[in-house]
Amino acid sequence: MTHEEFCALASEYGFKRVFFLAPEKYELGDNPHHLVADVKAEFPFTSSIAALVFPYSPFPEGERIPPYYLASNQAYHGMKALLKKLNELGIRAEKAEIPIRPALLKANIGAALRTGFLSIAPFGTRIVLMSIAVSELEPLQYEFNGKTYCAGCRKCIEACPAGAISESGVDFALCHRAFMETAAHPDHIRDCQSTYIGCEVCQRCCTMNAKLALSEPSSEVREAFDTERLIMGDASKARALVGKNMTSNGKLTAEAIAFAARDGEFKELILEQKNSQFEAVRDAVRYAKERFNRS
């Protein structure tokens, strides 16, 4: 199989760009998240790391359904199908999670933005990145484009609801992403969270994404993320669409309650959830009651 044939096959599963990186030893820092530090040691068959780029379309501003997590789940299942197909074709391949952003930058791929995101043309930051170890296909060389994109632009700094972005980058202790791995959120996050499971603000205002076409959530997705459905604790369809990793312990229900409270809706239904089995949901009801009492 050639590199071109690999790329054509990957495209069938939604991966519109593939970069072939040298398998190296990686510094994992203090938060490894099951990343692979030494690809060759763990996967001796590796000739290269295929960095897979799964682009997705952003939703219109104000939409609370998270396009990234829908795409991330699709990319995960696409990667599994791709691995199966590659192995059937005699190309040994296995999932190998590396610190992919620094690995791509080291290989002269993409542009590092002060938001912490990586922009890869023509998709901007609206991408899901995955990496697999593959046999037979050697690494390729990529030319650095030499461009700096954030100089002179302050859109994300001014837009960030948490004040987490400055000229020097992101303070991840303030960023909403730092609060998304648990179901319960502090009230100041609930007050300005923009989407389920996260925040879209800095990506929506980024000039790297300005020319991307918008799309609308499908009827299936809208049904799954129906506010009333989620408040009542029926999050099974939404979890199936975005994956279980980031949606456990009543997270989607708690977030739906916070969104509804901010909108002044579903008061009686929210109060009915006060005895939920999930602590995050009970705390979201407390938050909602305080919001309703102030209005």
CA distances from 206 to 113, 149, 160, 203, 209 (A): 9, 10, 11, 5, 6
Total tally of structural domains belonging to the chain: 2
- pLDDT for 27 equals 77
- The verdict on whether omega for the bond into residue 122 sits within 30 degrees of 0, i.e. cis, is yes
Is position 155 within any domain?
no
Per-residue model confidence (pLDDT) at position 93: 97
Q: What is the pLDDT of residues 50-88, one digit of tens each?
A: 999 999 999 999 999 999 999 999 999 999 999 999 999
Among 134, 153, 181, the domain-final residue is 134
166 and 118 in a single domain? The answer is no
Question: How far apart, in Å, are the Cα atoms of 78 and each of 65, 74, 87, 182, 218?
Answer: 21, 6, 14, 26, 19
Q: Is residue 207 part of a domain?
A: no
pLDDT exceeds 90 at position 34:
no
- Residue 30: per-residue pLDDT: 63
Of 117, 134, 151, which residue constitutes the final position of a domain? 134
Least confident stretch, 16-25, 141-150, 259-268: 141-150
Question: Is residue 84 in a domain?
Answer: yes
Regarding whether 283 and 175 lie in a shared domain, the answer is: yes
Domain ranges, residue 41: 3-134
Q: Tokens 């648990």: give the residue.
A: 182
184 and 100, same structural domain?
no
Q: Within this chain, do residues 100 and 166 fall inside the same structural domain, yes or no?
A: no
Query: Same domain for 31 and 73?
Result: yes
Supply the pTM of this predicted model: 0.92
Kindly state whether residues 167 and 90 are assigned to the same domain: no
How far apart CA 9 and CA 4 sit, in angstroms, is: 9
Residues 169 and 288 occupy one common structural domain: yes
Domain end residue (candidates: 134, 154, 175): 134
Q: Could you tell me if 77 and 121 lie in one domain? A: yes
257 located within any domain: yes
In a domain, 144, yes or no: no
Establish if 212 belongs to a structural domain: no
pLDDT for the residue 12: 98
The reported pLDDT for the residue numbered 245 is 82
Do 243 and 122 reside in the same domain of the chain?
no
Kindly state whether residues 130 and 166 are assigned to the same domain.
no
Chain segment 168-190, per-residue pLDDT in tens: 899 999 999 889 989 999 999 99
Task: Identify whether residues 83 and 182 lie together within a single domain.
Answer: no
**pLDDT digit string (tens) for 97-126?**
999 999 999 999 999 999 999 999 999 999
Question: Which distant-in-sequence residues (6+ apart) come within 8 Å of 253 by Cβ?
Answer: 230, 231, 232, 233, 235, 273, 276, 278, 280, 281, 284
8 Å CB contact between 98 and 38: no
Indicate whether 139 belongs to any domain: no
| 240 and 129 both lie in a single domain | no
